[in-house]
Homo-oligomer: A and B are copies of this chain.
Amino acid sequence: MVKAVEWIDDRVRILDQSKLPHEVTFIDCTDHLLVADAIKTLKIRGAPAIGIAAAMGLARAAQDISASGFDEFMKALEPIMDTLLMTRPTAVNIKWAMERMKKLLLKNRDESIDRLKALLIDEAKAILEEDIEVNKAIGIWGAQFIRDGDTVLTHCNAGALATGGYGTATAPILVAKEQGKSVRVVADETRPVLQGARLTAWELMQAGVDVTVITDNSAGALMRKGEIDLCIVGTDRTVRNGDVANKIGTYMVAVLARENDIPFYVAAPLSSIDFSIPSGDMIPIELRPDEEVTHIRGQQITPDGVKVLNMAFDVTPAKYVTAIITEKGAFRPKDIKKLTYRGVNLEELRIKA
């Protein structure tokens, strides 16, 4: 299985997704700045993957810090965390990873600096391994919604490349296939950065999945023709009321799905759910450079000097979401907040196919 990010030889090795599917090249990050740049310029993307990369970037940077005590060590780590946090504002995973690393440090404040450095590496690696386990669990909970012969529409890339491995939105597809079901995938190309055409198509072809690429404009027509059985997408940040921030255009897919009575599922590891935000309208939406719209692979497509608006994400209100599939089960969006309740009975909340 292709790996978006790995810890190899004390470095953070990142697969340069900006060059896919044409070239398979890697960036060996010797410091956190290279990691931050890779995140910011979308060489690595996908909410879980950038969380893992950020954790590894922090662990990498920690190795180079000379500090005489815990407080000095923490103080040196703060600006590094800030740099990593500022790369992408919408996904919650970087914030989640930084908080997890910080918690680990505080818990082990009495350990030596060398020991803390080693713990940070172990923790970053653990975040990656746990992510794969989480995705497999999402796959199992999600596969029940895929029947033999179904065609699944997905938007953007929430596959292995967006995660530690296995993918979130792709996991139910892969598990369904392992269960012997025949599954076809329709991948929205996902302008502007074309993660669907470039990444989802590539990794599903590698995994032997039957995949067809369409323009984003075609999703509605296919749904209306009855050629889509269900939609599964990932999420960059899902919030307390079940609203889902994901790649721009997801909201349109969700509205069209509901209009055509097609179930719309969001594959969301718990790490991508931000229980601190009550509603999707409070999620910051990243504006990205005009060039992503005006140029494709270096070729200009628009007139010189044209005005452009390039929002990277949109918010899909909970009412359009059939279920949110987590590693703990599939839940109605309105029930997501209950996952934080004490003594909640998950079995009662879970929805079944």
Contact = CB atoms under 8 A, between A and B. Distances in A.
A309 B218 contact: yes
A186 B294 CA distance: 15
Interface residues of A, number: 56
A309 B213 CA distance: 7
A303 B202 CA distance: 6
A342 interface: no
Interface stretch (A104-112, A192-200, A263-271): A192-200
A308 interface: yes
Interface string A218-258: 11111010000000000000000000000111011001100
Contacts of A202: 303
A163 interface: no
A207 interface: no
A201 B259 contact: no
A69 interface: no
A305 B202 CA distance: 10
A216 interface: yes
Contact of A213 (B22, B256, B302): B302
A149 to B, nearest CB: 17
A302 B248 contact: no
A310 B21 CA distance: 20
A307 B211 contact: yes
A191 B296 CA distance: 12
A114 B11 CA distance: 82
Given A215-B192, A302-B198, A220 B307 contact: no
B308 A248 contact: no
A183 to B, nearest CB: 14
B205 A306 contact: yes
A18 interface: no
A160 to B, nearest CB: 15
Interface of A: 21-22, 186, 189-192, 194, 197-198, 201-202, 205, 210-222, 224, 247-249, 251-252, 255-256, 259, 285, 293-294, 296-311, 314-315
14 contacts: A189-B293, A190-B217, A201-B303, A205-B303, A213-B307, A215-B249, A217-B252, A218-B310, A219-B252, A221-B311, A255-B255, A255-B259, A296-B297, A297-B299
